[in-house]
Amino acid sequence: MSTYSIVWFRNDLRVHDHKPLTRAVTAGHPVIALYIFDPYDYSDLSYGFIKTGPHRAQFIQESLEDLRRNLAELGVPLLIRYKDPKNAFLEMSCDFTIDGVYLHEEIASEEHQTEGRVRKALPGVPFYVDHGHNLFPPEDLPFSTWDVPDTFSQFRKRIEKNGGAPPKAIAPPQAAVKAELPNKIEEGKIPDAAALGMEIERNKPRYHGGSTAAKQRLRDYIFTKDRLRVYKETRNGMLLEDDSSKFSPYLANGNLSPRVVYEQIQHYEKNYTKNKSTYMLYFELLWRDYFHLVHRKYGDRLFYRTGLNGLEIPWKTNEEHLQAWMDGRTGYPLVDAAMRELKQTGFMSNRARQNVASFFTKNLGLDWRIGAAWFESQLVDYDVSSNYGNWLYIAGVGNDAVSFRAFNVEKQAQDYDPDGDYLRYWLPELRELPVPWIFKPGEMGMIEQEQYGVQLGEDYPFPIVDLYESMREMKKAFEEASK
């Protein structure tokens, strides 16, 4: 039987800055790349919705098409399998000898368990694991995983005191001798969202997966459109593509290495300008690293109802409220616009995410884990550590001991969308409403409803909870739980 090295791709769909690929190519044996669609990732969660929704499924499909092209140039075929990973590996081990499996480390326990089952099925086969999702590998940090500071600000200061520069990104490997597949082995078709049993709406702009698209976006945002220069001033915008970098789908799926983003920030600073905006983008990449480290430190506590601080909040169950939130029909325009954007595109700005998560936990008082799971299902940039980490903090069950904090979603809309453009874009039924009614349609009387052609309860819902009353109730619940 012929012998091959396998590079197991998961959330690292690129050929640049990919140590496992480079190591496998230089190890000497022909290299086969492998990506497995695990049916578990496309199953229904206990909350009644699918774990990976159509937008991310489509993004992954596009990323894999791009990866297959890029790997082919290196002489590496990409096999696609849609089955339990353990069985996929077992089948291959019957067809050829596996000399070693090369892969990037993942943090979450689900991936660890899957990997553990695969390792058990391949006794004697070495696994070569590298770090590759962050700016800083754990061994370069000035503290151990267990001592990761409990506030971001402490973390950032320690990193910056330590020099603040990550290792250099590595280039794609040189082309290897083309690996011919054993006779009966097929490469396998990449399933799209439809093949995975999902429908996808195509009427709104959305993000396209793949390293090629990622590098194009990187160049466009920083250099061609020159938007890094003003990132600090625009990043809270919710409507426009260039309000923020939109690197997250590429970073989350590994189409882009964060170290390549860092390098481009450096080039921009050297050749154009260095200002608060250029620093701020680096600062945000540090937030990403921080949430990954919090996940490493606390493990599965990231998914506990009581979070990292053990607060016993009496989270409510209310199917109607949950459905209204997911569908964008709460009667609060900022929440509704953002939730409809998420459903239609798989994306939502950071400002909007903070607001809808705060509304979910501090106004509706629903179990934060369900909100986080809906994001997991819908987001094209879903990243387990960033998603659950951010949700924990907004829900008030993170590891930072701060008093009760909640976003006033009406005021936030006025502050960050002063003309109501974002709201009108996503809520066509409110398109005729001027300021100030666009921010609080629920307060319109009969006269305004007639004047603007919006009948409350028919065209647009009445608010499903009282904004201030619901917030007071949750504040009390937090105070009780903290006693």
Ligand X SMILES: Cc1cc2nc3c(=O)[nH]c(=O)nc-3n(C[C@H](O)[C@H](O)[C@H](O)COP(=O)(O)OP(=O)(O)OC[C@H]3O[C@@H](n4cnc5c(N)ncnc54)[C@H](O)[C@@H]3O)c2cc1C
CA 397 to chain centre: 20
Q: Which stretch binds ligand X (CB under 6 A): 130-138, 241-249, 453-461, 465-473?
A: 241-249
Pick the closer one to ligand X by CB: 49 or 287: 287
Stretch that binds ligand X, among 130-138, 210-218, 362-370, 388-396 (CB under 6 A): 388-396
252 lines the binding site for ligand X (CB under 6 A): yes
12 phi and psi angles, rounded to 5 deg: -140, 55
Select the span of 170-178, 317-325, 376-384, 443-451 touching ligand X (CB under 6 A): 376-384
235 binding ligand X? (CB under 6 A): yes
Distance separating alpha carbons of residues 144 and 152, to the nearest angstrom:
15
156 touching ligand X, by CB under 6 A:
no
Residue 248 makes contact with ligand X by CB under 6 A: yes
Nearer to ligand X, 257 or 387 (CB): 387
Query: CA–CA separation, 231 vs 459, rounded Å?
Result: 37
Does the footprint of ligand X cover residue 52 (CB under 6 A)?
no
* Cβ nearer to ligand X, comparing 22 with 355: 355
Strand residue runs (E) in 237-284: none
Among 379, 444, 456, 474, binds ligand X (CB under 6 A): 379
Of 57-65, 116-124, 347-355, 417-425, the window that binds ligand X (rule: CB under 6 A) is 347-355
CB of 236 to ligand X, least distance (A): 9
Closest approach of ligand X to the CB of residue 85, in Å? 23
| DSSP letter assigned to residue 198 | -
The order of strands in the sheet holding 127-130 is 78-82, 31-37, 3-9, 97-104, 127-130
Q: Which is it for the CA torsion 446, 451, 457, 463, positive or negative?
A: negative
Q: Would you count residue 222 as binding ligand X (CB under 6 A)?
A: no
Phi, psi of 361, deg, nearest 5: -95, -35
- Contact call for residue 382 and ligand X (CB under 6 A): yes
Least separation in angstroms between residue 153's CB and ligand X is 14
Which of residues 207, 303, 391, 439 is near ligand X by CB under 6 A? 391
Map residues 270-289 to x or -, x wherever contact with ligand X holds by CB under 6 A: -----------x--xx-xx-
Q: Which of 175, 190, 482, 189 is nearest to 309 (CA)?
A: 482
**b/e code 154-184 from CB counts within 10 Å (16+ = b):** ebbebbeeeeeebeebeebbeebeebebeee
Q: Would you count residue 148 as binding ligand X (CB under 6 A)?
A: no
Q: Does 343 bind ligand X (CB under 6 A)?
A: no
Q: Which is nearer to ligand X, 24 or 260 (CB)?
A: 260
Contacts (Cβ under 8 Å, ≥6 apart) of 292: 107, 133, 134, 385, 386
Residue 325: closest CA among 376, 363, 351, 381:
363
Closer Cβ to ligand X, 247 or 298, answer by number: 247
Q: Any residues with CB less than 8 A from the CB of 388 and at least 6 apart, and which?
A: 295, 302, 303, 372
Q: Could you tell me the smallest distance in angstroms from the CB atom of residue 1 to ligand X?
A: 42
- Taken as a whole, the chain contains a residue count of 483
Region from 24-32, 324-332, 381-389, 449-457 binding ligand X, contact rule CB under 6 A = 381-389
CB distance 367 to 305 below 8 Å: yes
Residue 379 has phi, psi (to 5 degrees) of -70, 135
* Binding residue count for ligand X, defined by CB under 6 A: 29
How many CB atoms within 10 Å of residue 18?
27
**Which CB atom, from 350 or from 482, has the smaller least distance to ligand X?**
350
| 350 touches ligand X (CB under 6 A) | yes
Tell me whether strands 78-82 and 97-104 are parallel, antiparallel or unpaired.
unpaired
Which residues, 6 or more positions from 467, have their beta carbon under 8 angstroms from its beta carbon?
332, 363, 408, 409, 410
- Min separation Cβ 391 and ligand X, Å: 5
* Contact window for ligand X (CB under 6 A) among 248-256, 302-310, 448-456, 472-480: 248-256
Chain residues in the site for ligand X (CB under 6 A) = 235, 244-248, 251-252, 281, 284-285, 287-288, 291, 349-350, 353-354, 357, 375, 379, 381-383, 386-387, 390-391, 394
